[in-house]
């Protein structure tokens, strides 16, 4: 057995004729950047998650940077981020001149811990920073606990940017990830649950003013007219071909999210007797960007991965080294109580193949390899 970790080919086979037609339409139009399909995609994405504005851009990292720039985040500001995430969440903060402050996560959901956030805010103030923004991450597809995190941010005069690169479209108490805080972002990197065939990203907000700012900032700080500049911006436009591809993929996204529930449920049924399987709080729905279990120790994880490799089953570790201990980030402040949960998880998590087209017989083989 030799399996893909994410089977993009199965999805492409399902959509190929429609994708070919969509790409051909863009080739015929000659509008290769920010063309008609980009505007249509923005409309559909905004409708899907229930926000007023969606602004497409070049990738999920730029989406975060655009959000920070639109909020006016600057030197002297503290931006609170988890350490147990992909580097992009923290990377954008120093690029604005602000300081990332690392916050621990909860052991069951892997998402930002509100109590750790409170300690980190007090610490940031004590060292002379201005608490300005919180970036919860919807890790592995599960929305963060926005009802707990938003009030802490707002009471402290901060804004919340939801990093939904892995969780866009997930459900949080009847609402959809992308619409759970002041401004949200996502990534359309090919391996993401809603991915294109290159790089892409988007920013979501209900705030007219923030939307206008992001629109300007993604086009070099454009003013009212084409060669008039109101502010310093960046170049982060979306390619029309990627938008055309995403429109086709969005048409089956809800169906794929449901198929992912079945795959996750089958894993949990088969593995929960032996390992700690993901825990989804009441009223929430993950989009299962990853299916991640916790094993007893790093040694046990090495053995599991070796067994799987032998059987041709790919596994992955997200994330083996927390950001706050990495060379690039270790000088930045963190929750003064430390980040024990993050450090523990880094040594124990392992992710299994996950995509909507994972057949149950194939999954049986994966489970057999995992259990050994
Ligand atoms: C949590 C998180 N934030 C941000 C990003 C950045 O997205 P992109 O790769 O599109 O820049 C990613 C994905 O790569 C991610 O997983």
Residue 1's pLDDT band, with cuts at 50, 70 and 90, is low
Other beta carbons within 10 angstroms of residue 191's beta carbon come to 13
- Is 42 a residue whose pLDDT tops 90? yes
Query: What value does the mean pLDDT take over residues 94-123?
Result: 98
Residue from 6, 59, 61 to probe ligand 1 pocket by mutation (most atoms less than 8 Å from CB): 61
The pLDDT score that the predictor gives to residue 219 is 97
Summarize pLDDT for 227-276 with one digit per residue, the tens: 999 999 999 999 999 999 999 999 999 999 999 999 999 999 999 999 99
Spacing, Cα 371 to ligand 1 middle (Å): 31
Per cent of the chain over pLDDT 70 is 100
Write out the two tokens for 13.
Answer: 């086979």
For residues 224 and 97, which has the higher predicted lDDT (pLDDT)? 97
Residue 32's pLDDT band, with cuts at 50, 70 and 90, is very high
Answer yes or no: is the C-beta of 267 below 6 A from any ligand 1 atom: no
- Is 147 a residue whose pLDDT tops 60? yes
Summarize pLDDT for 166-189 with one digit per residue, the tens: 999 999 999 999 999 999 999 999
Residue nearest to atom 8 of ligand 1 (CA): 60
Spacing, Cα 139 to ligand 1 middle (Å): 11
Spacing, Cα 88 to ligand 1 middle (Å): 6
Count of positions (residues) in the chain: 372
Residue 226's pLDDT band, with cuts at 50, 70 and 90, is confident
Residue nearest to atom 12 of ligand 1 (CA): 165
- Is 8 a residue whose pLDDT tops 70? yes
Answer yes or no: is the C-beta of 194 below 6 A from any ligand 1 atom: no
Answer yes or no: is the C-beta of 89 below 6 A from any ligand 1 atom: yes
Query: Closest ligand 1 atom, CA of 192?
Result: 13
Summarize pLDDT for 282-322 with one digit per residue, the tens: 999 999 999 999 999 999 999 999 999 999 999 999 999 99
């Amino acid at each position: 057995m030799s399996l893909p970790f994410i089977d993009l080919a199965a999805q492409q086979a399902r959509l190929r004729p429609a994708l070919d037609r969509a790409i051909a339409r863009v080739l015929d139009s000659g509008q290769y950047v920010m063309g008609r399909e980009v505007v249509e995609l923005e409309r559909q994405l905004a409708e899907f998650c229930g926000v007023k504005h969606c602004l497409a851009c070049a990738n999920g990292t730029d989406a975060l940077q655009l959000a920070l720039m639109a909020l006016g985040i600057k030197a002297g500001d503290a931006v609170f981020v988890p350490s147990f995430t992909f580097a992009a969440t923290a990377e954008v903060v120093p690029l604005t001149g602000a300081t990332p402050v690392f916050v621990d996560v909860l052991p069951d959901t892997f998402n930002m811990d509100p109590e750790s956030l409170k300690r980190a805010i007090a610490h940031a103030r004590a060292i002379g920073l201005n608490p300005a923004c919180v970036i919860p991450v919807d890790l592995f597809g599960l929305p963060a606990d926005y009802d707990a995190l938003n009030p802490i941010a707002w009471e402290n005069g901060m804004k919340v940017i939801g990093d939904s690169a892995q969780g866009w479209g997930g459900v949080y108490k009847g609402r959809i990830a992308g619409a759970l805080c002041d401004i949200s972002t996502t990534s359309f990197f090919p391996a993401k649950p809603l991915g294109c065939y290159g790089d892409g990203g988007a920013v979501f907000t209900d705030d007219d003013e923030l939307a206008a700012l992001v629109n300007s900032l993604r086009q070099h700080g454009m003013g009212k007219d084409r060669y008039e500049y109101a502010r310093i911006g960046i170049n982060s436009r979306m390619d029309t071909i990627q938008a055309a591809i995403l429109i086709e993929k969005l048409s089956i996204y809800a169906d794929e999210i449901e198929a992912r529930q079945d795959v996750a449920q089958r894993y949990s049924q088969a593995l929960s007797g032996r390992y700690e399987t993901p825990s989804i709080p009441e009223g929430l729905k993950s989009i299962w960007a990853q299916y991640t279990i916790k094993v007893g120790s790093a040694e046990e994880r090495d053995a599991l991965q070796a067994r799987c490799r032998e059987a041709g089953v790919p596994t992955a570790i997200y994330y083996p080294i927390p950001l706050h201990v990495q060379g690039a980030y270790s000088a930045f402040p963190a929750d003064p109580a430390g980040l024990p949960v993050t450090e523990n998880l880094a040594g124990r998590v392992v992710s299994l193949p996950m995509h909507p087209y994972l057949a149950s017989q194939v999954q049986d083989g994966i489970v057999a390899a995992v259990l050994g």
